[in-house]
Chain A
Amino acid sequence: MSTCEIRAKIPGVFYRKPAPDQPNYKNPGDPVVEGDVLGLIEVMKSFQEVTCEATGTLGEFQVEDAEAIMAGQVLVVVEG
């Protein structure tokens, strides 16, 4: 069993859902495949998707929804 850390490529504010009134893209325990959208990073008033880089099961998020994050910070782990 291997784990893959999904890291932020850019700094900004991390969101787990596409809009405040919508459900999370994914939740811990969900099966995920490469390319799935896991969240958004708001950077300089634009939104960039965070995509999954592995196939497996989503672990716990390491950051809160709407939390400021640094480039390179681990957002979530995928267990494959």
Chain B
Amino acid sequence: MTIKKLLIANRGEIAVRIIRAARELGIRTVQVHSTADAGSLAVQMADEAVEIGPPSAAKSYLNIDAVLQAARESGADAIHPGYGFLAENADFADAVAAAGLIFVGPDGDTIRRMGDKTAAIATAQAAGVPTIPGSGGLIGDLGEAAEIAAGIGFPVMIKATAGGGGRGIRIAHDAAEFAALAPQAEREAKAAFGDGGLYLEKMIAKARHIEVQILGDGETFLHCYERECSLQRQRQKVWEEAPSAALSPHVRADLCASAVALAAAVGYRGAGTVEYLYDDETGAFFFIEMNTRIQVEHPVTEAVLGIDLLAEMIKVAGGEPLSLRQEDLVIRGHAIEVRINAEDPANGFMPSPGTVSELHIPGGPGVRFDHMLFAGYQIPPFYDSLLGKLVVTAETREKAIIRLRRALGELSLGDQVKTTAPLFDALARDDDVLAGAFHTKWLEPWLEANCHTLTRQDGEAC
């Protein structure tokens, strides 16, 4: 191993996870932190800690100069960016390399290419990965656009090129509706965004979000099967599984092969994830984007394959070839991860930063809890609300859900912090969830309808 000392440019549960992987590889660790995180679990666990700025992430965890200076002063030879913060910042990856250090992840050019939506889609298409059928660019004459829409197949989304985040989207279910909506969309886009440019995309109703974990060392590329991440609120995943209950062996093979083809096309080095929309009705899958980093939900993959993705990405970054072979990766059982956030699901997911007055961590067979907690920990209000990830594994999905209910019952953080645990307990008893019958737009209406079944943790009515 060429890496002797690894600096962790992140915080929270993923910093703890990286420290654990590094320690097992015999690598010393340097934890950078803001003043608000001086007492964090990661700081306590790391071999060294360096303060890099005030609580504001922009002035600490996102401060490239401060991170690089901490690396120089501590003598670190590699930097792990975790997820979020600088993990997909190509300029940061370049700056780390320019400083003569190892960036644990792909090079800046790969991050840049896959981070650009248009370039990523073009790369996927060139690698033979299915993408969402669409106009492939701006539409001109609306009469011609109607023909393109019919060719794509209804329902079709009419999107404003200047929109984004769900704004400026109209859905046409047939040709007549398209003829009515397209001119309206053009006028509104012009008024709202000052740009009437429109493009078309096939609407995949009730799509699942399914993603494939990939690994590469620049020469060999393999997949670690899929994760099902359809249970989302405000586009944030809350519950993830491996494998997906929706895929046939045939579709799974095609899906995973396409992800490997994309990894090979860019000569990928490190751990990455190729995200897809999956249509239950047709069995078709479509590339959405690639994430060039470790993901929050990586433990479900580790659980069913018995591998260590963090160790693998650190070793590859250090110049070693992949230690895994595709034929060795066999799915055993079923794993579910739920995100324990400091939020009250019965009160509009109101953030609940507070003190962990007591801590009871679930244990026993098939239970893993990746977290950042200790009794007496004061959760800072400056960062995201993820406290930990409860991961359960069992022989079958049904047994994993039973185990999840059991493990949730053992979790306690005391009475001062409200968490999303009651939401998962309710979901683990829901018929649709038990049947695995959900899609990315399933959870939000469920929350509207079932809020009253979640007990408000401050005792007030929902």
Instruction: Show the binding face of A for B, using Cβ within 8 Å.
Output: 10-13, 42-46, 48, 68
- Note all chain A residues with C-beta closer than 8 A to B343: 44
16 contacts between A and B (CB under 8 A): A10-B381, A11-B353, A11-B381, A12-B353, A12-B381, A42-B381, A43-B351, A43-B353, A44-B342, A44-B383, A44-B385, A45-B383, A45-B384, A46-B349, A68-B36, A68-B55
The listed residue (B56, B349, B350, B351) touching A13 by CB distance below 8 A is B56
- Note all chain A residues with C-beta closer than 8 A to B349: 46
CB distance from B277 to the nearest CB of A (A): 25
- Note all chain B residues with C-beta closer than 8 A to A45: 383-385
Closest 8 interchain pairs by CB? A44-B351, A12-B381, A44-B385, A11-B381, A43-B381, A43-B351, A45-B384, A46-B351
Complex Cα distance, B385 from A12, in Å, reads 12
Complex Cα distance, B382 from A46, in Å, reads 10
CB distance from B228 to the nearest CB of A (A): 25
Residue among B382, B383, B384, B385 with most chain A CB within 10 A? B382
- Which secondary structure dominates chain B's binding surface? loop
CB distance from A12 to the nearest CB of B (A): 4
User: A44-B381, A45-B384, A45-B385 are known contacts. Are A10 and B351 too (CB-CB below 8 A)?
Assistant: yes
Mark each residue of chain B from 347 to 382: 1 if its CB lies under 8 Å from any CB of chain A, else 0.
Answer: 001110100000000000000000000000000011
CB distance from B44 to the nearest CB of A (A): 22
- Note all chain B residues with C-beta closer than 8 A to A48: 350-351
- Note all chain A residues with C-beta closer than 8 A to B350: 48
- Note all chain B residues with C-beta closer than 8 A to A68: 36, 55, 382
Cβ-closest chain B residue relative to A66: B56
Residue among B36, B342, B343, B350 with most chain A CB within 10 A? B350
Complex Cα distance, B350 from A10, in Å, reads 10
- Note all chain A residues with C-beta closer than 8 A to B381: 10-13, 42-44
Interface residues of B in 17-52 (CB under 8 A from A): 36
Cβ-closest chain B residue relative to A47: B351
Complex Cα distance, B384 from A24, in Å, reads 26
10 extra interface residue pairs, beta carbon distance < 8 Å, beyond A43-B353, A68-B36: A10-B351, A11-B381, A12-B381, A13-B56, A43-B351, A43-B381, A44-B342, A44-B381, A44-B382, A44-B385
Residue among A10, A42, A43 with most chain B CB within 10 A? A43
Residue among B56, B342, B381, B383 with most chain A CB within 10 A? B381
- Note all chain B residues with C-beta closer than 8 A to A44: 342-343, 351, 353, 381-385
